[in-house]
Amino acid sequence: MGTYGPFPARTGQYYRDQVVMLQSEITPSDATAKRHPALNDAGEIGDDSPCVSCGYNLRGLRMEGLCPECGTPIRKSLPPDMLRYAPEKWLRLVQIGAVVLWGSQLMSIEDYVIGLFYIAEGIDRQATSVWEAAGLLGLHVLGCYLLTVREKHSFETTQARRYRWIARAGMTAFALNAIRVKLTGGWMQDAARPISLIVEAGMLIAVVAVFLYLRCLLRRIPRPRWTRSIMFVIVAHCVERIASLSIIVPYLAIKLGGDSEQNFTNVARPLFRAYEIADFIAEIAWIPFALVYVWILARFMFYIERILKDRKKEKTRASLAQS
């Protein structure tokens, strides 16, 4: 096949984005010189490529055919935007971002488990140190920026581009607010103030945007199971963060009802108790989904490492063949 050809049917917006990008990158003079990156000089699939439906090895077949095992169109298994064809430098940066997010998520899970242990034992836990909180936040922001680095001359869709900008803007706003809190004399001690609640809500949107951007990358592998799993992680994270943000309810009760002892005893205290229970249950429920997220990140970064190793082997074989 001499060109990229039709794209797999995903969404109408995806199709339009891909067509516009190809029209801007491929001119009539060089259209015949461009071909699907999986094809060799003979017009056949030149490397091991499993069928997206049954896993049959499509090597040696032509792009316009069907899978001999299940009849699935071969083109559906080899979209041209797959990560295995992406630039090596960009893949390495994305891999480092996944590693950093993986490490920060592991530390967050450890913090969750220790905090739940202290709560269950009725022990007052020492407040998180400034350096510990700053380090964890810095790792998360760094991982987000590396994971969402822009791929030049890519098949990035409009949707993925929006997720990237939302994630970066939200993470930046959260980091700036953390610095503001530190400079004004406290660290996470004004969690119920309006500006912090607004930034926390923005942080929720930013983290969800990171998850959705990662989902866009997972669709370029493709691994349907990983893509479905990340959606469960998104829902669980939203539930956990909303439960944490519900602390605004008892504070509003005090604000609206006054600081009288009757209002505090009959309204605010039960709401505080309900918030503590809801937050505790949400944190317990979040741990298994956080482990799923860690598993996805680990599989993702090892998948990229396998791509890079295969490319290195190909270069070595090519150099040996030439010599």
Structure tokens at 88: 């090596």
pLDDT value of residue 181: 66
Evaluate if residue 8 carries a pLDDT over 50.
no
Contact 63, 1 (CB under 8 A): yes
Evaluate if residue 282 carries a pLDDT over 70.
yes
Taking the C-alpha atoms of residue 64 and residue 15, their distance in angstroms, rounded to an integer, is: 18
Helix, strand or coil, per DSSP, at residue 220: coil
Q: Which of 91-105, 109-123, 229-243 has the lowest mean pLDDT?
A: 109-123
pLDDT value of residue 82: 81
Evaluate if residue 291 carries a pLDDT over 80.
yes
pTM for the model: 0.73
DSSP, residue by residue, 235-250: HHHHHHHHHHHTTHHH
Taking the C-alpha atoms of residue 118 and residue 127, their distance in angstroms, rounded to an integer, is: 12
Evaluate if residue 295 carries a pLDDT over 90.
yes
pLDDT band at 15 (very low <50, low <70, confident <90, very high): very low
DSSP character at residue 151: P
pLDDT band at 10 (very low <50, low <70, confident <90, very high): very low
* 93: nearest Cα among 208, 228, 217: 217
Mean pLDDT of 282-306: 89
Mean pLDDT, the chain, whole residue set: 76
Structure tokens at 189: 């001690």
Angle at 183 between CA 187 and CA 210, to 5 degrees: 60
Contact 136, 104 (CB under 8 A): yes
pLDDT value of residue 117: 67
pLDDT tens digits for 215-241? 989 988 867 788 888 998 998 888 888
Mean pLDDT of 172-177: 78
pLDDT value of residue 52: 76
Q: Which of 2-16, 90-104, 132-146, 207-221 has the lowest mean pLDDT?
A: 2-16
Q: Which of 41-45, 162-166, 180-184, 206-210 has the lowest mean pLDDT?
A: 180-184
Share above pLDDT 90 across residues of the chain, in percent, rounded to a whole number: 15
Q: Which of 45-49, 56-60, 87-91 has the lowest mean pLDDT?
A: 45-49
